[in-house]
Structure 1
Amino acid sequence: MSAVGAAALCAVMAFQAPGQAGAAAGGTSSPNPGPNASPYAFAEGATSVDGAQNSVDSVRLTPGATYKSSLARGGKVYYQLRLDASETVYVSATAVPGLDAKVAYGDGVEVSLQDANGNNCDSGDARFGTSQSPRPISAWAVRAVGPAENRCKAAGTYYVVVERNSDPGSSTETWDTELRVVSEPGVSKRGSTTPPDSWNSASPTPADGTREERRGGTGFNDARALKTGVWGDRIKPGQTLFYRVPVDWGQQISASAELGSASGGRDEYVTSALVMSLANPVRARIDDADTAYDGQQKTTALKPVAPVAYENRFSPMDRVAGTRFAGWYYLSVHLNPQVARQFGKGPLDLTLRVNVDGVAKEGPAYVGTARPADEFSVTGEDEDAAVRGETDAGSGGGSGNGKGDGDAMKVVAAGGFGGGALLLTVLGVWTLIGRRRAAAAASASTANGS
């Protein structure tokens, strides 16, 4: 075996280390969490930072990175960004209350982006709402650069302000938070700043076909990849499952979630029992839907959202403005813990019907590279990841485009096989990897379904 061939083979094995292979096959990062375990899979390699009580002491965040922090009840903390005059930057904060936390209708998290003079560039919030059920929720804000923007355009220091809104009677414990900073480059030529005045807003026909089992992840970072189809899972009261779908420029995503019937139970129902949310590649919430549950099968569906287009960002409607770029779109499904009181603590059947309609179109001509790279595109590797049902575990808080297998094969191809013996060796490695994945998948499925 040549030195180049050996290096290529080592690259394959490095890309598919046992831990990563297991993460790709398993449905969640922790199938049987302990009583004090987090209900959310934080990004591997995320930097831990403390929010400051004032702007002067704030820690600087970097576009393209993911951070882990915390937020006390009624707390307000600051972080810092240093931005140039050409990049649009999105900051999201995902708040993660404990599984047994008590949350009220108005409890939630708010994120603001401010300039050095304290002027708001943008702000957004997320609340638990009628479900009053603890689960990961995300708020976001953007510092936008473009012809339609009149503020926060200059290069300089900006501040991220994260605030926890608390209703009386809610729990006092501190929430973990995950901060993600994403930079979108400018475009080479100015296009329309008018959002589309018409698009197919009719309720889509739900996907049909054979139900295929795919275990959801427990956060954005290990979300299970899906394509158009009918997908089956099991969800426990209090659990939140995450999935991701590649949606390209010009395409339109739609989804519904059906909770299966329960045996036994009382003649009562739980309001906002099943909550489904849709978020875009920067984790900005686009829409959500929920349904009550009385032990009979129930379905909830997202309202139609606009096809992905750059000019959607100029719309005042979230369901249009949210579909402003291509990439991974995230579905999360939460089952209210109150369901356990009426129908038992065991998992219930969950069916997701996912549609991605439309032909992919050419995207805008970006000048520069997004951070993380490839954040606002759909590649062939992304589509393959959706076919295989990969998770994003092991991405280290990066773009999460599921490119591990494809990149490894590119390394092998670039190094050259150098002969039939090396080819057989490489194929043997891939066979072993496939067996390990299958075994891990079976193990995870057994653990998660218990």
Structure 2
Amino acid sequence: MAPVHGRPSGGSRLRGVARAGVVGVLLCALSASAVRAAVAADGTVPYDYVPGAGTVAGTEGTAGASLLEAGSAYRSSLPRDGARYYRLELDAAETAYVSVTAVPRAGGTVAATDGVRVSLRDANGGTCSLATEQFGASHSPHPVAASASREVAPGSGVCQGAGTYYVVVERADAKNSQAGDWGLELTAVSEPGLKAAGATKAPEAWDSATPEPPAGTAVRRAGGAGFGSAVTVGRGTWTADIRPGRTLFYRVPLDWGQQLDATAELGAGPGSGYVTGALTTSLYNPVRDDVQDVALSYGGRAASAALDSSPPVAYANRFSFSDQVRAMRVAGAYYLVVHLAGQTADRFGDGPFTLTLRLGIRGEVRAGPGYAGRSVPSGVFEVSDAERDAATAHGAAGTGADPGMRAVAAGGIGGGTVLLAGLGVWTVLSRRRAAAAGRG
């Protein structure tokens, strides 16, 4: 780097810049810490909400329901008893998706049947779709997501016209649910119609044989703490630390025609006993609709569990009678969400434990279905070159760095990272100032 030349007053300017920069950095770091403290203070499990998400209040009925706009993310809350209503304004051509991620309160256990239920209804109360996501065998509070939709389909007699629709959110098992409010993250996505009619029948057969897990050295890639900060991974072997009660989020880009094979392994740990449903691995599609889940029980020895081999991504999958096949209906970023049950600590300590993900992606990339317009948000049903690059492990071997940091921008830069960067800038400026003073 070339030395800085100039009069002594230049050093004063540099000191002013350095002070201003560091003050700003410290304020950013303090703000980030305040956000983390606020999340902990509200009693919910740790979760990174989408940066910039607006805040809306759900209503107890349709009157005065807050509007959710496609392409936007929102924060809200859900009480133990009673449903909460939100509003959509839809045209007659778009397929609309609304996902709701429930963030339960931390500590203790939850009922296996509890979780979040989301329905989308027309102005007359007719149900367009209904989805429920439960905590399952883990009995451990963690973020769960469910997605409802209004799909324009020839021959369907409900939910086909333009107008007002309502999103209804409630606990899956209010009788056995936690006391206190849960946090909610809501997102809305619009999928355009097709230029020309395509197949109206889902593929009936595909290669469902589970291939050998990918070999090779595992690449370290820490997961995110929410859908918005999920870290991108692809074909290969990935490893991270995970602690009891925590949930890690990963993005897996899947294009049209591709299918995913995924295995999650939990490394051996000290202690004795047995924890049912210790590690839960869930696969969600780009609109956060649940594809499938697998739970792994743990007795202290290394153990693994694999998701079923998914069908290739295809537009016509939406016409299947199988929920798992129907969810593989769009290309884009799929999400692997891995949760280690809090009660694992009771038997095996606080960890951290070693999580290993072995991912296989196969199938020839095919052309898309030929949309008549663009999705909202734009590109949600596509795989970009940047995502393909972020999903690879190139450049990671031997560097000791976590290449997943390339995906941090999706969820904002953490205060600690910003602070280190700011201190680095301050150091460089100080050295420049000292060199200039010496020459003066």
The 3-state SS of whatever aligns with 1:340 is helix
> Which structure's CA Rg is the greater one?
2
**C-alpha contact (below 8 Å) 1:49/1:68 kept by paired residues:** yes
Aligned mates of 2:126, 2:406 — CA distance in 1: 39
2:70 aligned with 1:55: no
Match of 1:269 among 265, 271, 274: 274
TM-aligned CA deviation for residue 251 of structure 1: 0.4
Listed as ranges, the matches of 1:44-443 within 5 Å are: 44-100=51-107, 102-147=109-154, 149-166=156-173, 168=175, 170-263=177-270, 265-266=271-272, 268-387=273-392, 388-390=403-405, 393-395=408-410
Percent identity, aligned pairs only, is 46
TM-aligned CA deviation for residue 150 of structure 1: 3.2
Q: Which amino acid aligns with 2:209?
A: A
TM-aligned CA deviation for residue 167 of structure 1: 5.2
**C-alpha contact (below 8 Å) 1:229/1:354 kept by paired residues:** yes
**C-alpha contact (below 8 Å) 2:208/2:311 kept by paired residues:** yes
The 3-state SS of whatever aligns with 1:366 is coil
TM-aligned CA deviation for residue 38 of structure 1: 4.7
The TM-score normalised by the length of structure 2 is: 0.81
TM-aligned CA deviation for residue 103 of structure 1: 1.4
The 3-state SS of whatever aligns with 1:207 is coil
Q: Which amino acid aligns with 1:375?
A: V
The 3-state SS of whatever aligns with 1:186 is coil
TM-aligned CA deviation for residue 262 of structure 1: 0.6
Cα distance per residue 1:304-326 (max 9 Å; x no partner): 11000000011111221111111
State how many pairs are aligned.
Answer: 380
TM-aligned CA deviation for residue 385 of structure 1: 2.4
Of stretches 209-218 and 383-392 in structure 1, the one that deviates more from structure 2 is 383-392
TM-aligned CA deviation for residue 98 of structure 1: 2.1
TM-aligned CA deviation for residue 204 of structure 1: 2.5
Q: Which amino acid aligns with 1:389?
A: G
The 3-state SS of whatever aligns with 2:63 is coil
The 3-state SS of whatever aligns with 2:49 is coil
Instruction: Pick closer, same or farther for the CA change 1:275–1:391 going to 2, 3 Å.
Output: farther
Aligned mates of 2:253, 2:25 — CA distance in 1: 26
**C-alpha contact (below 8 Å) 1:97/1:176 kept by paired residues:** yes
Cα distance per residue 1:241-294 (max 9 Å; x no partner): 00001100000011110000012x12x200000100000000000001011100
TM-aligned CA deviation for residue 99 of structure 1: 2.1
**C-alpha contact (below 8 Å) 1:122/1:141 kept by paired residues:** yes
The 3-state SS of whatever aligns with 1:320 is helix
User: Unaligned regions of 5+ residues in structure 2, if any?
Assistant: 1-23, 30-34, 393-402, 413-417, 425-440
TM-aligned CA deviation for residue 75 of structure 1: 2.4
Aligned mates of 1:93, 1:37 — CA distance in 2: 16
Q: Which amino acid aligns with 2:153?
A: G
**C-alpha contact (below 8 Å) 1:106/1:128 kept by paired residues:** yes
